[in-house]
Amino acid sequence: MTAPHDANTDIKARVLDAIKRRAPLAIVGGGSKHFLGREAQGEPLILGEHRGVIDYHPEELVLTARAGTLLSELETLLAGHDQMFAFEPPHFGAAATLGGTIAANISGPRRAYAGFARDFVLGTHIVNGRGEILRFGGEVMKNVAGYDLSRLVTGAMGTLGVILDVSLKVLPRPRETITLMQPSSPRAAVEKLCRWAAAPLPISASYIEDEHLYVRLSGTPSALAEARATIGGDVLDDADKFWLEVREQRRPFFGGDAPLWRISLPPAAILDLPGEQVIEWGGALRWLKTDAPATTIRAAAAKHGGHAMLFRSPVRSPEPYHPLPAPLMQLHRRIKAAMDPYGIFNRGRMYAEF
Amino acid sequence: MILPAAKPTTDKRELIAALGRFLPDDAILHATEDLRPYECDGLSAFRQTPMVVVLPRTIEQVQKIMRVCHERGAPVVARGAGTGLSGGALPLGDGLLLSLARFMSILDIDPANRTMRVQPGVRNLAISEAAAPFGLYYAPDPSSQIACTIGGNVAENAGGVHCLKYGLTVHNILKLKLVTMDGELLTFGADGLDAPGFDLLALATGSEGMLGVVVEVTVKLVPKPETARVVLAAFDDVEHAGAAVGAIIAAGCVPAGLEMMDNPAIRAAEAFVHSGYPVDAAAILLCELDGTAEAVADDIERVESIMARCGASATRVSRDEAERARFWAGRKMAFPAMGRISPDYYCTDGTIPRKHLPRVLRRIEALGRKYELPVANVFHAGDGNLHPMILYDANRPGELERVEGLGGEILKLCVEVGGTITGEHGVGVEKINQMCDQFSSAELTQFHAIKAAFDPEGLLNPGKAVPLLKRCAEYGGLHVHGGELPFPELERF
């Protein structure tokens, strides 16, 4: 592990200086999620030096670490105690940090069955746009004192403040895992997944690609034996490598230069769009490679009560995130002003408007 | 308890006339005898008769009510079933109480997507009952689930005995429609698993009716576990029971529920509902395991052996559903059971890191002796969420003041060990002073700024949840950290 270092004071000083000069800051962790969203305007504020575990007691199921700590180091530490981040965060690069993961609220294959990053956030220290170090939430499982600002900054892409450290709920690793594979059309596969999700089965991930359905089961040996009979299919060898490829978008599908759309939908929705598709999260997450216009894709997602984000594209889009209705955008701007009155942090990182 | 009045100049007769232009007569209550039932919520020590009560039936009516009040500067307090324990729905004498009791419809059940769209006045338990034919249920189950409504659950981020495994309200809802103070209808969240923009769904959940009025909720439903069984373990020493809680979790088990009761709570509950609790035990643990029959059998074996290793004097496992219900009955009826052995009781809601459980219990006992008041403890041990119940008699002069002193010290202790003043009941009016113990002036100022982003005039549920810095200065509890002055921003208020 790299040596811990507390840079709270330096970060706060940098923010105060930026406020004084009204100079916007672009917050950088490991830079692994730089491709997500829009380009932030401003001088880089690098958090990679602000790292290290602050507190970890396995029997409390809580880990607190500084934002610049490498995700891989934390996962190694947890694995040593048979625990894990249950939201199975993608890294998208060896430099991925805890802070970036939380700022982007990014979650992997287990998400539909365990929850996403924000579900596991218990508390944070942040520097707000007045240069104050504030603590919200805590290190306990239940906490309803004050507004839930630690979950508000999760997924805000650094636009509301600098995340200094995060306390996360962690979970025991399942005792056993197997992956089953069966041929299936995507539509039939989604139907099966929706049916299985309504039964108490220990499913921990699903993936549909090339007329094949992959289902991961995690739990006690007896629970797996029983579920295996219900789900059917062949056992996939080297399944850990497979799910790592899914998580990190290293499957061949994710290669190439075509724009890659991330479409979030109710799982049973039937999406009729041209292009090549893979499906995760029991049907709730569709990855679509297509040259169809953004308006068509977004209208199709919105029709089902979902949304569409341009996740990767050869040229950075000016509007990667699904547009917000006007009253909601106004509220976003007021919230931004409440947290960051001088507009210092990650200006334009999510939407051009703030 | 006097709450700060926003604009005490609202003309009651004119307000009623304005509301009468779009609400039927039976939706507006203003005669004193009709207002009486609304003067308090589950925190009955605080009472205030509202100026007017409205009972709308449609979202459009709610929007119009909000606009009428906004134009006149009249404060609004929203209310569901009124079961809240922190006074979040306590009315204002110069304000309007907006009851959502008539929003009682289940709008849509979607078994394929495992969601249900409901109006805010639907009761928590009614959701699970409607989902039952599909083998599904709604996971959060606060003790008041027979009566409490989903709108109130969202406002308070309600928990229950199963949240260690299944989460709080915030983890179990997908989408909210809410009306802001200026009458705007907004949607937070989406029908999929996430939504674009800031996580306003999480921000609104647990915001205690300060940011908007919830008018529709889409909840997630989860499959009913095939089997659930409870291990009931008795301990001669509270600390051993506390250690067993940590050991079960460290062993990689995530029980569906993990509850603890101390001897006074065991005795009171047993006398009331006859659950078969060992009345001589210093503490009992109730550990529920759910899943497939085989998995539960595996887990039960592991849990029983951990309990034995940690010094349990006896363990019993529920043999059938009836016995499981009986084991839980004592725990679920612990509050009313206190009402039988003491004229009054006061329940607090602090949450602590589990590792401090033994230390905090010892300290609570010592504090009880200092204030000469008996304390019975029940708690969601798996979550570290304590519910110490202070037994007293309000008719004895000075006793209520001692209770408040003791309650305040218990919450301060929770904050000292790294916990929080409220795990699931909310701040409301009850714990508003203790907010000054938990948060710095800068943090409270940040909360006020967020509130102002939704409600710049501060008309929605004013005086609740987040104290003014002035109040903290008077209370003398403002949290100081990092060597900063206690209230440098006082002049802003």
Q: Which residue do the tokens 């005995």 mark?
A: B161
CB pairs under 8 A between A and B: 267
- CATH 3.40.50.1820 assigned to domain B12-99? The reply is no
The reported pLDDT for the residue numbered B298 is 87
The reported pLDDT for the residue numbered B492 is 28
SS3 category, A240: helix
- Helix runs in B260-389, H state only: 263-273, 293-309, 321-332, 334-341, 357-371
Q: Which of B356, B347, B352, B391 is nearest to B372 (CA)?
A: B391
Task: Retrieve residue A349's tokens.
Answer: 């990182």
Cβ of B112 and A267 within 8 Å?
Answer: yes
Instruction: State the nearest Cα–Cα gap between B18 and chain A, in angstroms.
Output: 26
Cβ of A327 and B186 within 8 Å?
Answer: yes
Residues 6+ apart with CB under 8 A from A76: none
The reported pLDDT for the residue numbered B491 is 37
Pairing outcome for strands A260-264 and A62-66: unpaired
Pairing outcome for strands B76-79 and B96-99: parallel
**Domain assignments of chain A as residue spans, ordered by start:** 8-172, 174-248
**Chain A residue nearest residue B161, CA to CA:** A142
Cβ of A171 and B435 within 8 Å?
Answer: no
Q: Which residue do the tokens 């904050």 mark?
A: B415
Q: What fold, for B227-335?
A: Alpha-Beta Plaits (3.30.70)
Helices B59-72 & B12-20 angle (0-180, nearest 10): 150
**Domain assignments of chain B as residue spans, ordered by start:** 12-99, 106-223, 227-335, 342-416, 435-492
Q: Which residues does chain B have within 8 Å of residue A136's beta carbon, measured at their own beta carbons?
A: 443
The reported pLDDT for the residue numbered B483 is 40
Pairing outcome for strands B257-262 and B375-380: antiparallel
Q: Which of B464, B461, B462, B463 is nearest to B77 (CA)?
A: B461
d(CA B432, CA B162): 27
**A343 has pLDDT over 60:** yes
Q: Tell which B residues from 244 to 273 touch A, by Cβ distance under 8 Å.
A: 246-247, 249-250, 252-254
Helices B334-341 & B321-332 angle (0-180, nearest 10): 50
The mean pLDDT value of chain A amounts to 96
- CATH 3.30.70.2740 assigned to domain B342-416? The reply is yes
CATH number of A8-172: 3.30.465.10
Task: Retrieve residue B98's tokens.
Answer: 């907006």
Cβ of A223 and B446 within 8 Å?
Answer: no
CATH number of A174-248: 3.30.70
Q: What is the pTM of this model?
A: 0.95
Buried b (16+ CB within 10 A) or exposed e, B428-441: bbbbbbbbbbbbbb
Instruction: State the nearest Cα–Cα gap between A181 and chain B, in angstroms.
Output: 22
Q: What is the 3-state secondary structure (H, E, C) of B194-259?
A: CCCCCCHHHHHCCCCCCCCEEEEEEEECEECCCEEEEEEEEECCHHHHHHHHHHHHHCCCCCCEEE
Backbone angles phi, psi at A241, to 5 degrees: -65, -40
**A1 has pLDDT over 70:** no
Q: Which residues does chain A have within 8 Å of residue B197's beta carbon, measured at their own beta carbons?
A: 321, 324, 328, 332, 350-351
B106-223 matches B227-335 in fold: no
Span A79-120, pLDDT tens digits: 999 999 999 999 999 999 999 999 999 999 999 999 999 999
Cβ of A142 and B351 within 8 Å?
Answer: yes
Q: Tell which A residues from 216 to 245 touch B, by Cβ distance under 8 Å.
A: 219-223, 225-227
Residues 6+ apart with CB under 8 A from B377: B260, B261, B262, B264, B265, B361, B364, B386, B387, B388, B389
SS3 category, A251: coil
User: Nearest Cβ partner of B225 from A200, A305, A321?
Assistant: A200
Are B188 and B200 contacting, i.e. CB atoms less than 8 angstroms apart?
yes
The vertex-B378 CA angle with B386 and B161, nearest 5°, equals 80
Is any Cβ of chain B less than 8 angstroms from the Cβ of A198?
Answer: yes
Are B317 and B244 contacting, i.e. CB atoms less than 8 angstroms apart?
no
The reported pLDDT for the residue numbered B294 is 82
Are A69 and A52 contacting, i.e. CB atoms less than 8 angstroms apart?
yes
d(CA B179, CA A55): 40
The reported pLDDT for the residue numbered B143 is 84
Q: Which of A96, A252, A90, A103 is nearest to A166 (CA)?
A: A103
Cβ of A350 and B249 within 8 Å?
Answer: no
Going from the first residue of chain B to its last (493 residues), give the mean pLDDT of each consecutive group of 10, the final group possibly shorter. Answer: 53 96 98 95 91 98 98 97 94 96 98 98 98 97 92 95 92 98 98 98 98 98 95 94 91 91 94 94 96 88 95 95 94 86 90 89 93 93 92 90 93 93 94 94 98 98 95 72 43 32
Span A279-290, pLDDT tens digits: 999 999 999 999
CATH number of B106-223: 3.30.465.10
> ipTM of the assembly?
0.98
Q: Which residues does chain A have within 8 Å of residue B199's beta carbon, measured at their own beta carbons?
A: 105, 118, 151-152, 154-156
From first CA to last CA, the distance across chain B in angstroms is 21
